[in-house]
Amino acid sequence: MSELKNDRYIRALLKQPVDRTPVWMMRQAGRYLPEYRQLRSQAGDFMSLCKNPELASEVTLQPLRRFPLDAAILFSDILTIPDAMGLGLYFETGEGPKFERPIKSQSDIDRIGTLDPECELKYVMDAVRRIRSDLDGLVPLIGFSGSPWTLATYMVEGGSSKAFTKIKKMMYAEPAMLHSLLEKLATSVVDYLNAQIKAGAQSVMIFDTWGGVLTPRDYQLFSLRYMHKIVDGLIREYQGHRIPVTLFTKNGGMWLEKIAATGCDAVGLDWTININDARARVGDKVALQGNMDPSILYATPERIQEEVSQILADYGQGTGHVFNLGHGIHLDVAPENAGVFVNSVHELSRAYHC
């Protein structure tokens, strides 16, 4: 496989010097791009795209043809693991993911077996291999998984939720049951991410989308504890290269120090915390990724540039910052505005890396 032509993203995660701040966007491959919508229409549905390595690679590379991004992220879904566990994943138009057979009892959890990523999730590994080949060293490839807590919320709720009553009922009324599910998920995530690394992922990220709905005590017990277990179990060097690990808890700004203490290389930030405050709190322990409000991309080019400038100034001099949105790009954002964002980061960040 080709050596990286642009390793700015990896270097920033490892807090090594860079010439400018690297940038990529969560959900950079997706519905805001007309070429993605066209390909999805041809494929038939979202999971058909995910399960076709050739199409998954094409979707992954689409944003790189438009924008000078510093990383590619595997086109897949966080719910591949519960789908492979036999819960019957499907997507309702306008309602998001749903499961035909949600987890309701200990016997449901007991029926879940351990996954062989090169068997039940071979389509993901084939996609990673294809993308690495098609990238030809242009930029690093990010692999990812949902966190055990976030996966469990979908598996117990049966889909998306606003109040999380079913999983919180399990958490408070039958905590041992939930822990048994989270243990199985943590083991599966370790195996899944390590398989992605062996297939070609050069960095991995764990998305804890729903960790922020927990109390501080429950966050440590039911979310962070299992992400820490995953970090401990991951391959951190492969074929002579470090494999950086990023943890991202949406609405997790109050727990930055605890997240940083897991041994991860970087902590993802949403837009509810100032990056200057975050850097002051974690010091040089980890790199930081984030954290522009995705809705800024609805603004004028001048306003987008202003926001990029402010976040760069707030972070200040030196490496250790991967610029990103604080969550995924919205589906109705104009691609041209995303281009303004990416270009602004590159142009305005040079002064911070003298």
The pLDDT of residue 232:
98
- Convert the pLDDT of each residue in 202-249 to its tens digit: 999 999 999 999 999 999 999 999 999 999 999 999 999 999 999 999
Confidence of residue 252 (pLDDT cuts 50, 70, 90): very high
Residue 114 annotated as part of some ligand binding site: no
The pLDDT of residue 21:
98
Domain 43-290 is in which class? alpha beta
- Convert the pLDDT of each residue in 269-299 to its tens digit: 999 999 999 999 999 999 999 999 999 999 9
Summary mean pLDDT of the chain: 96
Q: Where are the domains of the chain?
A: 43-290
Residue 31 annotated as part of some ligand binding site: yes
Residue 154 annotated as part of some ligand binding site: yes
267, 247 contact by CB (below 8 A): yes
Least confident of 33-47, 174-188, 245-259: 33-47
Amino acid (one-letter) located at 163: A
Residue 251 has pLDDT above 50, yes or no: yes
The pLDDT of residue 1:
40
- Convert the pLDDT of each residue in 59-96 to its tens digit: 999 999 999 999 999 999 999 999 999 999 988 777 78
Q: Edge-to-edge, what's the strand order for the sheet holding 287-292?
A: 72-73, 141-146, 203-208, 245-249, 266-268, 287-292, 321-325
What mean pLDDT do residues 8-28 have? 98
Of 182, 164, 271, 166, nearest to 220 by C-alpha is: 182
The pLDDT of residue 113:
86
Residue 30 annotated as part of some ligand binding site: yes
- Convert the pLDDT of each residue in 27-55 to its tens digit: 999 999 999 999 999 998 888 999 999 99
The pLDDT of residue 354:
83
Of 63, 59, 200, nearest to 140 by C-alpha is: 200
Residue 132 annotated as part of some ligand binding site: no
The pLDDT of residue 92:
76
Residues annotated as catalytic (active site), given as ranges:
27, 31, 40, 77, 154
Residue 172 annotated as part of some ligand binding site: no
Amino acid (one-letter) located at 330: H
SS (H, E, C) the chain: CCCCCCCHHHHHHCCCCCCCCCECCCCCCCCCCHHHHHHHHHHCCHHHHHCCHHHHHHHHHHHHHHCCCCCEECCCCCCHHHHHCCCCEEEECCCEEEECCCCCCHHHHHHCCCCCCCCCCHHHHHHHHHHHHHHCCCCCEEEEEECHHHHHHHHHHCECCCCCHHHHHHHHHCHHHHHHHHHHHHHHHHHHHHHHHHHCCCEEEEEECCHHHCCHHHHHHHHHHHHHHHHHHCCCEECCEECCEEEEECCCHHHHHHHHCCCCCEEECCCCCCHHHHHHHHCCCCEEEEEECHHHHHCCHHHHHHHHHHHHHHHCCCCCEEEEECCCCCCCCCHHHHHHHHHHHHHHHHHHHC
Share of the chain above pLDDT 70, in %: 99
List residues bridging with 96 in a β-sheet: 92
Residue 179 annotated as part of some ligand binding site: no
The pLDDT of residue 2:
54
